């Protein structure tokens, strides 16, 4: 913005510094209060509730827990990677400069812009084996009885992944698109002059430029997908027979069963996986923060 | 040359059509059900024989067992979303100003604490939060959801506002200080007007996040007088013979306002929010 680079440091003004600092603390106080009362205290208390080894013994003996861990790993590996490959591909499509593609991108963002319940319920009804539109169409077009999409645990998990991808894909496509748009056009022009193919342009120009963004986004998405409650709960509710839970819905299930120590233990079990990722993300953001912009 | 151009256009359409169908089919399905009668809803037709608005009438007149508190639930949704939006905006703006412009000591630590909260999955924080709200005696009060959403929305809000605020020229602050302005005057007369676009974006973000929230709403609120519409919609599936066409009409009414607001403020949302979401 400013033509002259302004050093980003407060003026060395000794006098009056204290009033400014006092005001700073006063303005910061509301958030500090929110953090202490609704994050730090609850989390500390929760960890304290989960201190008994006994909770973990019974948790590990619960077959639902074991299934949920497997489901969660499966969900994370498949859904996140599939989502990002699709987002990478579609971001390449949406950067084309056409009026109609701009309009399409406005429509494409709808799943991200609308609340989860209506659309997930809609998909749930579409997949109903008896009355749902998917199986009706399968029967009408091919005279075959469609599968029980939501009562077969494996299929139901796959459907939950589809729902997750349906909802989250637009956001990550936009992010990767922003990354692609930041690449200088001259690089592509130079590559064209050198006779590079479309694949070579992607391999040697696009990918090196957005690799860091792609990896950071994937890691962030891993954390958030781990906490995706809606896609699973609103679609299957953990059914049939509690076989389609993931850790996010399992914790809530234990709350509903009034087993708070198990709910907390479920979360503690996931922490060795979550905390390094969180640490990495925070590190990334504060490195960017220190860079002069 | 022209045939090659045609081919590349065709390739684009080959991507566009599946993308369009993939995006719109679940949305259209909601719409289709909401204008169908109970009998024709399951016929599998692409357009109902006799489209009707009767389902919406049923919803607005609260003429179904699941809808007896419809208007009350809409009011709760609105009340909670606006309250969470206002409080988030106030808390985050003050914090961002203190960290970015006043360079308050410990600001960095607070920023890190906020970022930590931002990255922890919300479904995980829900468990300890639920317990704490019980301890505070807030369960089943609308305030519990308001405060929970403020907790979840503030970190990102502070982060985005701090990023925007760091970009303001430092000379402004210096000039204000030399003129003998107090921190509050700087905040009110210089900072707030310059930050207005980001403030709009953050208010909208917190408002939509809260209106759309399901998990925290159904955990913290269960009394029929305090639940928002999201939880009310969840009740529909508690029995097997739920009226899909009425549920979809209600869902459409619930989903339209946030979508409209999102598109109305998209200018601010895309510029202001995706930039801060992931830094390359």
Structure token pair of residue B48: 């109902």
CB atoms A34 and B90 under 8 Å: no
Q: How far is A234 from chain B (nearest CA, A)?
A: 8
Chain B residue with minimum CA distance to A41: B132
pLDDT in tens, A211-269: 888 988 898 889 889 888 888 898 887 788 778 888 888 888 888 888 888 888 888 88
pLDDT band for position A291 (cuts 50, 70, 90): very low
Nearest to B280 among A28, A212, A234 (CB): A212
pLDDT for the residue A201: 85
Instruction: Report the percent of chain A where pLDDT is more than 90.
Output: 16
Q: Which of A277, A276, A32, A228 lies closest to B126 in space, CA to CA?
A: A228
| First-residue to last-residue Cα distance in chain A | 11
Q: Specify which of A253-257, B16-20, B180-184 reaches the highest per-range mean pLDDT.
A: B16-20
B175 part of contact set with chain A, CB < 8 Å: no
Nearest to B119 among A210, A223, A234 (CB): A223
pLDDT in tens, B84-109: 999 999 999 999 999 988 888 888 88
pLDDT for the residue A7: 47
Judged against a pLDDT cut of 80, whether residue B38 lies above it is answered with: no
pLDDT for the residue A4: 45
- The residue that leads in pLDDT, A17 or B65, is B65
- The residue that leads in pLDDT, B33 or B150, is B150
pLDDT for the residue B178: 83
Judged against a pLDDT cut of 70, whether residue A292 lies above it is answered with: no
Instruction: Report the percent of chain B where pLDDT is more than 70.
Output: 91
Judged against a pLDDT cut of 50, whether residue A12 lies above it is answered with: no
Judged against a pLDDT cut of 50, whether residue A2 lies above it is answered with: no
Judged against a pLDDT cut of 70, whether residue A8 lies above it is answered with: no
Q: Which residue is associated with the tokens 């509050």? A: B184
pLDDT band for position B144 (cuts 50, 70, 90): very high
pLDDT band for position B42 (cuts 50, 70, 90): low
pTM over 0.80: yes
Contacts of A39 in chain B (CB under 8 A): 113, 117, 125, 151
* Whether A122 contacts B31, CB under 8 Å: no
pLDDT for the residue B149: 94
Which ranges constitute the DSSP H helices of chain A?
Answer: 17-35, 41-49, 53-61, 63-75, 81-94, 99-108, 110-113, 116-126, 133-142, 153-181, 185-193, 198-201, 207-226, 230-236, 247-256, 260-290
* Whether A173 contacts A108, CB under 8 Å: yes
Nearest to B254 among A30, A32, A118 (CB): A118
CB atoms B254 and A115 under 8 Å: yes
Judged against a pLDDT cut of 50, whether residue A3 lies above it is answered with: no
- The residue that leads in pLDDT, A5 or A55, is A55
Residues 6+ apart with CB under 8 A from B117: A35, A39, B125, B151, B152, B154, B155
pLDDT in tens, A132-151: 778 777 777 887 777 888 88
pLDDT in tens, B165-174: 888 888 888 8
Q: How far is A62 from chain B (nearest CA, A)?
A: 19
pLDDT in tens, A67-101: 888 999 999 999 999 999 999 999 988 888 888 88
Q: Which of A32, A230, A202, A219 lies closest to A124 in space, CA to CA?
A: A230
User: Does residue A76 have a cis bond before it (omega within 30 degrees)?
Assistant: no
Report the C-alpha gap between A109 and B20 in whole angstroms. Answer: 11
The DSSP letter of residue A39 is I
Q: Choosing among A8, A13, A24, A41, which should be mutated to test the B contact, i.e. which has the most B CBs within 10 A? A: A24
pLDDT band for position B272 (cuts 50, 70, 90): very low
pLDDT for the residue A199: 86
Average confidence (pLDDT) over A166-192? 87
Average confidence (pLDDT) over B48-58? 75
Instruction: Report the percent of chain A where pLDDT is more than 70.
Output: 91
**Domain edges within chain A:** 62-257
pLDDT for the residue A1: 36
Judged against a pLDDT cut of 60, whether residue B233 lies above it is answered with: yes
pLDDT band for position A17 (cuts 50, 70, 90): low
Report the C-alpha gap between A68 and A243 in whole angstroms. Answer: 7
pLDDT for the residue A287: 62
DSSP string, A265-283: HHHHHHHHHHHHHHHHHHH
* Whether A254 contacts B130, CB under 8 Å: no
Secondary-structure class of domain B69-230+256-277 per CATH: mainly alpha
- The residue that leads in pLDDT, A1 or A238, is A238
pLDDT for the residue A35: 94
Determine the length of chain B.
280
pLDDT band for position B278 (cuts 50, 70, 90): very low
pLDDT band for position A106 (cuts 50, 70, 90): confident
CB atoms A117 and B277 under 8 Å: no
Report the C-alpha gap between B210 and B221 in whole angstroms. Answer: 14
Residues 6+ apart with CB under 8 A from B210: B80, B81, B84, B85, B145, B146, B149, B153
Query: Would you tell me which residues 223-262 of chain B have a C-beta closer than 8 angstroms to some C-beta of chain A?
Result: 230, 233-234, 236-237, 244, 247-248, 251-252, 254-255, 258-259, 262
pLDDT for the residue A265: 87
Structure token pair of residue B30: 């909601």
- The residue that leads in pLDDT, B17 or B182, is B17
Contacts of A223 in chain B (CB under 8 A): 119-121
Exposed e or buried b for every residue in B158-193, given b needs 16+ CB within 10 A? Answer: bbbbbbbbeebebeebeebbeeebebeebbeebbee
Contacts of A10 in chain B (CB under 8 A): 103, 170
Q: Predicted ipTM?
A: 0.85
Residues 6+ apart with CB under 8 A from A172: A83, A84, A87, A217, A221
Nearest to B128 among A137, A220, A264 (CB): A264
Secondary-structure class of domain A62-257 per CATH: mainly alpha
pLDDT for the residue B44: 64
CB atoms B150 and A34 under 8 Å: yes
């Amino acid at each position: 913005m400013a033509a002259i680079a302004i050093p980003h440091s407060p003026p060395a003004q000794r006098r009056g510094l204290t009033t400014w600092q006092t005001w700073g603390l006063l303005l910061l106080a509301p958030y500090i209060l929110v953090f202490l009362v609704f994050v730090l205290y609850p989390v500390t208390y929760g960890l304290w509730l989960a201190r008994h080894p006994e909770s973990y013994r019974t948790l590990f003996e619960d077959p639902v827990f074991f299934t949920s861990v497997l489901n969660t790993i499966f969900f994370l590996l498949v859904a996140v990677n599939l989502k990002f490959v699709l987002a990478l591909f579609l971001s390449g499509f949406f950067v084309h400069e056409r009026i109609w593609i701009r309009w399409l991108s406005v429509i494409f963002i709808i799943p991200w812009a609308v609340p989860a319940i209506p659309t997930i319920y809609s998909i749930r009804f579409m997949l109903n084996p008896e009355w749902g539109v998917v199986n009706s169409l399968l029967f009408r077009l091919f005279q075959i009885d469609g599968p029980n999409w939501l009562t077969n645990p494996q299929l139901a998990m796959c459907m939950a992944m589809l729902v997750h991808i349906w909802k989250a894909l637009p956001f990550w496509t936009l992010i990767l698109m922003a990354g692609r748009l930041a690449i200088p056009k001259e690089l592509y022009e130079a590559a064209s002059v050198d006779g590079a193919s479309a694949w070579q342009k992607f391999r040697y120009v696009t990918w090196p430029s957005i690799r860091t963004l792609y990896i950071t986004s994937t890691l962030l998405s891993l954390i958030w997908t781990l906490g995706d409650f809606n896609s699973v709960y609103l679609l299957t509710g953990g059914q049939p027979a509690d076989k389609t839970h993931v850790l996010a819905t399992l914790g809530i299930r234990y709350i509903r069963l009034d087993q708070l120590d198990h709910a907390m233990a479920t979360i503690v079990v996931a922490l060795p996986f979550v905390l390094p990722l969180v640490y990495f993300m925070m590190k990334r953001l504060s490195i960017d923060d220190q860079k002069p912009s | 040359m022209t045939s090659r151009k045609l081919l590349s256009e065709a390739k684009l359409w080959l991507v566009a059509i599946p993308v369009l169908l993939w995006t719109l089919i679940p949305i259209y399905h909601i719409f289709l059900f909401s204008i169908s009668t109970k009998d024709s809803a399951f016929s599998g037709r692409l357009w109902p024989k006799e489209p009707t608005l009767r389902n919406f009438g049923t919803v607005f007149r609260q003429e179904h067992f699941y809808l007896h508190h419809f208007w009350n639930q809409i009011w709760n949704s609105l009340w909670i979303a606006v309250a969470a939006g206002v409080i988030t905006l106030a808390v985050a703006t003050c914090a961002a100003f203190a960290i970015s412009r006043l360079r308050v000591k410990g600001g960095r630590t607070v920023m890190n604490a906020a970022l930590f909260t931002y990255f922890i999955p919300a479904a995980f924080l829900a468990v300890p939060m639920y317990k704490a709200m019980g301890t505070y005696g807030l369960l089943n009060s609308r305030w519990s959801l308001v405060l929970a959403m403020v907790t979840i929305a503030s970190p990102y809000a502070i982060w985005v506002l701090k990023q925007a605020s760091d970009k303001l020229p430092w000379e402004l602050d210096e000039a204000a200080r030399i003129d003998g302005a107090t921190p509050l005057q700087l905040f009110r007369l210089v900072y707030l007007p310059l930050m207005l676009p980001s403030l709009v974006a953050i208010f909208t973000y917190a408002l939509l996040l809260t209106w759309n929230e399901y998990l925290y709403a159904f955990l913290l609120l269960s009394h029929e007088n305090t639940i928002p519409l999201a939880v009310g919609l969840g009740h529909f599936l508690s029995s097997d013979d739920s009226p899909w066409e009425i549920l979809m009409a209600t869902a459409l009414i619930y989903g339209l306002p946030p979508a409209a607001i999102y598109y109305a403020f998209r200018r601010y949302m895309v510029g202001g929010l995706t930039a801060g979401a992931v830094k390359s």
